[in-house]
Amino acid sequence: MSKRSLSQLSPVAPSSPLAGLAPLPGLPTSSPAPSPVPPSSGPPAGLPQLPPPYLSASHLSRVPLPPRSVGGLRDHLSRPRQCNCKRSNCLKLYCECFAGGAHCDAGLCNCVQCHNNEAHGERRDRAVLQTLERNEKAFRPKIAPGPQPAGGGGAATGGAQQPGSGHSRGCNCKKSSCLKKYCECFQAGIHCVQGRCRCRDCKNLPGNEERGRLGTPQGGAGRVEGGTVYRGGTGAGVERAVIAAAGGDALFAPPSSYTIPVGNPSSSAVAPCSFSVADPVDSRGSGAGLTYQRKMEGLSKALEEKIERERAMGLGVGKNGEPLPPPAPPPRPPAERDSAARMGDIGRITGDYLARGGGAARVVAMELGERARKRAEEGGGAAKTKGIKATNGGARGAGGGGGGGEVAPPAALGCDEELEELQELEELEELEELEELEEELGSGSRAELLRGLLENMQARTEQLAKARREQKAASRIR
DNA sequence: GAGTTTGAAACT
DNA sequence: CAGTTTCAAACTC
Ligand SMILES: [Zn+2]
Ligand SMILES: [Zn+2]
Ligand SMILES: [Zn+2]
Ligand SMILES: [Zn+2]
Ligand SMILES: [Zn+2]
Ligand SMILES: [Zn+2]
């Protein structure tokens, strides 16, 4: 389902973007559609010429392409595309994969906390929209298709370039003279374009041949995929990036056909799209049902208590680091809940708690530890009690506060500390302990719980990071 | 592999 | 739009 006719312009168009990547002819400029693809590795340009992929501001421009990869299934489009992102969640253009409109390949990428995958479809969708908001051409090729003096990884060779070709936005190099792969032009193997490139001391202009053919003695060749310039490509890189291929060749990962709902700018695009992968509901699978529910219950209760306790102690910080004075508006809902609601409790509770900024990390850690212990007891003996890295012990991390009466947590520091703590914990997913734990608890429950916690933590982390930045900025402004 | 440099992307 | 900060890759040692 979810098949919508293009002409259907509903206000809050829940575009179902990405998903797969739809080959998108990059350049706007009319491409005579020659046969750019050079010999080697020049598969037939089988892609039909699609209509201008421009995201018209008047309506959704859903690229009419084979919904083949609708599920976001493996995009058999690009070659090794691998990133090593650590702090962007692969949801920013910093990430090669994301920038190229592809999902990260858990097998190839070495990214941390990657959200550029089907498992985080919605997040990714939002990120894509944000990115497009900033720059509608964000996912379009930077390198014009057409005949290029390609020389991937090396300086451009030919003489003059055809108008319209080159780096669409030009580079802005200041210290590399455009002779290193720091320069996108150079990396793409094309000359800089006067008037567009704002480089200084450019030595990558037509005529200025071979300054050192391979400007980079070390490292590998650069590459250009679908017009996107990448720095990556160590060694095994593509010697000849074959930039021209963009003309409609599947050789590269054509920038996916992201769609952007521009229908009504006024009404925020809050609900971007509900592409949703599958029904998360049933994903739980059979069997784990009851067990899972019980676990959740237990955890829920434990967390609730913990929260209550801490709140009573005056711990907690406002979203912006401000102390949290009011004991809290205890909107303690009745005790009646259906299983479904109960299931969501964990999320709600932790979310609530985290939102208030308590020692989030600490709580999570303790909770996990407790869970493990519990499990051990139940299971009867042999259980292993995973302690889960409990970060700073009893520490009064965030709320800290101290002593009597008014708990005035040093917003600044507390925030920072908590942030670190959280970031550290965010990597729980990679802890071996958890994997072991998983065996004991059952992947279903563990995964679900963990995911919930992590998501909350991530959200919180983002908040904190922002707050921290602001503080930093504020202090620097002084 | 650790540390530095670089410029695009992000943010203010 | 300019000035800064963040980020991940290119590069150096
Ligand atoms: Zn990445
Ligand atoms: Zn990746
Ligand atoms: Zn990734
Ligand atoms: Zn340059
Ligand atoms: Zn340039
Ligand atoms: Zn230049």
Q: Which nucleotide is nearest to A85 (CA to C1')?
A: C8
Check whether residue A182 has its CB closer than 7 Å to nucleic acid strand B: yes
Angle between helices A443-477 and A411-425 (to 10 degrees): 150
Torsions phi, psi for A110 (to 5 deg): -120, 30
Complex-level ipTM? 0.97
Q: Which nucleotide is nearest to A231 (CA to C1')?
A: C9
Provide the residue-wise pLDDT of chain A in tens; the chain has 478 residues.
333 322 222 222 233 333 333 333 332 222 232 222 222 332 333 223 222 222 222 222 222 222 222 222 233 344 578 999 999 999 999 999 999 999 999 999 999 999 999 999 999 999 999 999 999 999 999 987 655 444 445 555 556 666 777 889 999 999 999 999 999 999 999 999 999 999 999 999 998 775 444 443 333 344 565 566 767 543 322 222 223 223 222 223 233 333 333 223 332 222 222 222 222 222 333 333 333 333 334 444 444 444 444 445 444 443 333 444 333 333 323 222 333 333 344 444 444 434 444 444 444 555 555 554 454 444 433 333 233 333 332 233 333 322 333 322 333 345 556 655 655 555 554 444 555 555 566 656 655 565 666 666 656 666 666 666 656 656 555 5
Are residues A171 and A200 in contact, defined by beta-carbon separation less than 8 angstroms?
Answer: no
pLDDT of residue A191: 94
Cα A112 to averaged position of ligand 4 atoms, centre (Å): 30
Of A146, A236, A144, A240, the C-alpha closest to A193 is: A144
CB-contacted nucleotides of strand B (7 Å): 5-12
Cα A106 to averaged position of ligand 3 atoms, centre (Å): 7
CA distance between the termini of chain A? 55
**Ion ligand 3: protein residues whose beta carbon lies under 5 Å:** A 90, 104, 109, 111, 114, 116
Q: Which nucleotide is nearest to A218 (CA to C1')?
A: C11
Rounded, the Å distance between the CA of A187 and C1' of C11 is 14
Confirm whether pTM is higher than 0.90. Answer: no
Cα A115 to averaged position of ligand 2 atoms, centre (Å): 9
Cα A368 to averaged position of ligand 6 atoms, centre (Å): 54
Are residues A214 and A153 in contact, defined by beta-carbon separation less than 8 angstroms?
Answer: yes
pLDDT of residue A448: 59
pLDDT of residue A271: 23
Of A417, A318, A443, A421, the C-alpha closest to A366 is: A421
Q: Secondary structure of chain A: what % helix, strand, coil (to 5)?
A: 35, 0, 65
List the Cα angle A9/A71/A441 in 5-degree steps: 125
Q: Which nucleotide is nearest to A197 (CA to C1')?
A: B7
pLDDT of residue A468: 63
Cα A191 to averaged position of ligand 6 atoms, centre (Å): 7
Q: Which nucleotide is nearest to A95 (CA to C1')?
A: C8
How far, in Å, are A313, A371, A388 from residue A437 at the CA level?
31, 9, 10
Of A425, A358, A419, the C-alpha closest to A388 is: A425
Cα A138 to averaged position of ligand 5 atoms, centre (Å): 18
Q: Which nucleotide is nearest to A176 (CA to C1')?
A: B6
Cα A109 to averaged position of ligand 1 atoms, centre (Å): 7
Which runs of consecutive H residues, i.e. helices, occur in A241-386?
A: 288-312, 339-356, 360-379
Q: Residues whose CB falls within 7 A of nucleic chain C?
A: A 83-88, 90, 92, 94-96, 180-182, 187, 215-219, 222, 230-234, 469, 472-473, 476
pLDDT of residue A58: 25
Token code pair at residue A214 = 């391979």
Rounded, the Å distance between the CA of A91 and C1' of C6 is 14
